[in-house]
């Protein structure tokens, strides 16, 4: 949730560029898109941890590949996404072991 809140805060960091009356709303929406995508992945992960873990991992890998030229951005944004994905996958694995009695 904290990562989504940070992404949402970035959405309101858009400046008014004077492109027309609808431009500020479009800018805010486009910058809020990462927060909305992560919120959707979180909703899926709460229901199905393994699918959510794969979603967060895919988001991280996609972001890292998209920002190859900026490794600092890749680690600041992609790193936490990858960690969240790994934690959801580990949680699902631990839950399965507990159910099977191991």
pLDDT in tens, 12-57: 776 555 555 566 777 788 888 989 999 999 999 999 999 999 999 9
Which among 76, 52, 74, 54 is positioned nearest to 63, based on CA atoms?
Answer: 74
17 neighbors 30 (Cβ within 8 angstroms): no
**pLDDT score for 23:** 60
- What distance in Å separates the CA atoms of residue 25 and residue 63, rounded to the nearest whole number? 24
pLDDT at 22: 62
pLDDT of residue 6: 86
Please determine, for residue 5, whether its predicted confidence score (pLDDT) is greater than 70. Answer: yes
Q: What is the largest CA-CA distance in the chain?
A: 62
Query: The tokens 């959510």 sit on which residue?
Result: 52
Task: Please tell me the predicted confidence (pLDDT) of residue 20.
Answer: 57
- The predicted structure's pLDDT at residue 16: 53
pLDDT digits (tens, 9 = 90+) for 52-100: 999 999 999 999 999 999 988 889 999 999 999 999 999 999 999 998 8
Q: What is the pLDDT of residue 48?
A: 94
Residue 6, judged by CB atoms within 10 A of its CB (0-12, 13-18, 19+), counts as middle
14 neighbors 27 (Cβ within 8 angstroms): yes
- How far is the first Cα of the chain from the last one, in angstroms, to the nearest whole number? 31
């Amino acid at each position: 949730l904290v990562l989504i809140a940070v992404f949402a805060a970035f959405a309101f960091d858009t400046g008014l560029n004077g492109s027309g009356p609808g431009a500020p709303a479009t800018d805010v929406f486009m910058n809020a898109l990462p927060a909305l995508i992560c919120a959707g992945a979180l909703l899926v992960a709460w229901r199905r941890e393994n699918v959510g873990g794969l979603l967060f991992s895919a988001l991280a890998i996609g972001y890292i590949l998209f920002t190859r030229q900026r490794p600092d951005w890749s680690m600041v944004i992609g790193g936490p996404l990858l960690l969240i994905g790994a934690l959801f996958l580990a949680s699902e694995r631990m839950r399965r072991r507990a159910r099977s009695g191991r």
